[in-house]
């Protein structure tokens, strides 16, 4: 039997799909406040050949707890499993690792958006008594400042080429016209030009826009890891050799400080 932890979301439905290919699946969840160590103790107590979850914040956390309790290896963000051999994601998806998982039960999470989602079917609610370990006590809503980066249909993003915090004026203008969100690369956040909440990348936000416009961004793998969820990528860069072009569908070779305002002006013109 494969035990699969689900949260009732898209990633869980993908994890169930992955698990079903391994054998009969028991989909399980918990009620009440999230308490990782307690929930994991209950998962670890299940009879299972494998314990599986989505490679989400909670999925990876719970499986790590289960692995610690059982003293077994745990493979995070797996894309394929063949016998004892896993293929798993490294570097935010820029690299894969083939590895042998020498453990029983097999403990793994399923890399997001690498498997089709399936109907989860019946979900059993497991009991996880409060063991006094840290749990989610309250939820604080953040004041929403416009369109969220994660869900925006269009993201207009600036990198080192923008040159300064003030330079983001042209980026903000275009994002505003398109009803999109402003993003940035890690260089920009480290320089203090934009807050970390605007950062697209492996250690920032992973976007899912219809169009990502990368202005003055060279295209380090750390950045692409967050941008590749976009359906189309338009790079605006003065360097025709910039690595971002290898990930882009469209490119304008030119100075963003001229190209971006020209696009905004053209948008206004066609809208009359």
Partner 1 sequence: MRILVCVKRVPITGGKMVLAADGQALETKHLGFTISPHEECAVEEAVRIGGEVVVLALGPAEAEEQLRDQMAIGADRGILLRTNGEEWDAQSTAAAIVDALRAEEPFDLILFGNESADAAGFQVGIRVAHALGLPVVTGLKKIEVQEGRVRCERDVGGARDVYEAPLPAVLTVLEGLNLPRYPSVPGRLRAKSKPLAVVEPVRPEQRLEKLRLVVPEGQGKQAEILEGATQVVAVMQSLGVA
Q: Does residue 27 bind partner 1 (CB under 8 A)?
A: no
Build a one-symbol-per-residue string for 85-124: x at contacts with partner 1 by CB under 8 A, - elsewhere.
x-x-xxxxxxxxxxxxxxx-----x---------------
Q: Which of residues 221-240 bind partner 1 (CB under 8 A)?
A: 221-222, 231-232, 234-235
* Of residues 24 and 272, the one with the C-beta less far from partner 1: 272
Q: Say how far apart CA 70 and CA 60 lie, in whole Å.
A: 15
Angle of helix 10-20 versus helix 57-70 axis, rounded to 10? 50
Q: Which of residues 118-157 bind partner 1 (CB under 8 A)?
A: 133-142, 144, 148, 150, 153-154
Q: Does residue 73 bind partner 1 (CB under 8 A)?
A: yes
CB atoms near residue 34 (< 10 Å): 16
CB atoms near residue 13 (< 10 Å): 19
Q: Does residue 190 bind partner 1 (CB under 8 A)?
A: yes
Q: Find the part of the chain contacting partner 1 (CB under 8 A) among 11-19, 30-38, 45-53, 120-128.
A: 30-38
Q: Which of residues 4-23 bind partner 1 (CB under 8 A)?
A: none
Q: Say how far apart CA 223 and CA 233 lie, in whole Å.
A: 13
Q: Is 59 helix (H, G, I), strand (E, B) or coil?
A: helix
Residues in binding contact with partner 1, number by CB under 8 A: 94
Pick from 22, 29, 46, 72 the residue near partner 1 by CB under 8 A.
Answer: 72
Q: Which of residues 159-178 bind partner 1 (CB under 8 A)?
A: 178
- 88-115 as b/e: b if 16+ CB within 10 A: bbeebbeebeeeebebebbbbbbbbebb
């Amino acid at each position: 039997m494969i035990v699969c932890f689900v949260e009732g979301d898209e990633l869980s439905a993908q994890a169930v799909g992955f698990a079903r290919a391994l054998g009969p699946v028991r989909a399980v969840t918990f009620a009440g406040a999230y308490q990782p160590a307690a929930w994991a103790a209950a998962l670890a107590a299940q009879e299972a050949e494998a314990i599986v979850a989505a490679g989400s914040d909670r999925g990876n956390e719970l499986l790590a707890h289960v692995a610690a309790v059982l003293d077994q290896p745990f493979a995070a963000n797996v894309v394929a499993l063949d016998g004892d051999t896993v293929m798993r994601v490294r570097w935010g998806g820029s690299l894969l690792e083939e590895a042998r998982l020498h453990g029983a039960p097999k403990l793994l999470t399923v890399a997001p958006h690498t498997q089709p989602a399936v109907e989860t079917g019946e979900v059993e609610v497991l009991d996880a008594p409060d063991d006094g370990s840290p749990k989610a006590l309250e939820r604080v809503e953040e004041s929403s400042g416009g369109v969220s980066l994660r869900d925006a249909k269009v993201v207009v993003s600036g990198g080192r080429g923008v040159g300064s915090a003030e330079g983001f004026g042209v980026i903000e203008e275009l994002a505003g016209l398109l009803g999109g969100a402003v993003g940035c690369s890690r260089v920009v956040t480290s320089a203090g030009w934009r807050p970390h909440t605007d950062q697209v990348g492996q250690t920032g936000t992973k976007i899912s826009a219809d169009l990502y416009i990368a202005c003055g961004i060279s295209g380090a793998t750390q950045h692409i890891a967050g941008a590749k969820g976009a359906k189309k990528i338009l790079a605006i860069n003065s360097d025709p050799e910039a690595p971002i072009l290898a990930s882009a569908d469209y490119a304008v070779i030119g100075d963003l400080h001229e190209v971006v305002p020209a696009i905004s002006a053209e948008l206004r013109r066609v809208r009359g």
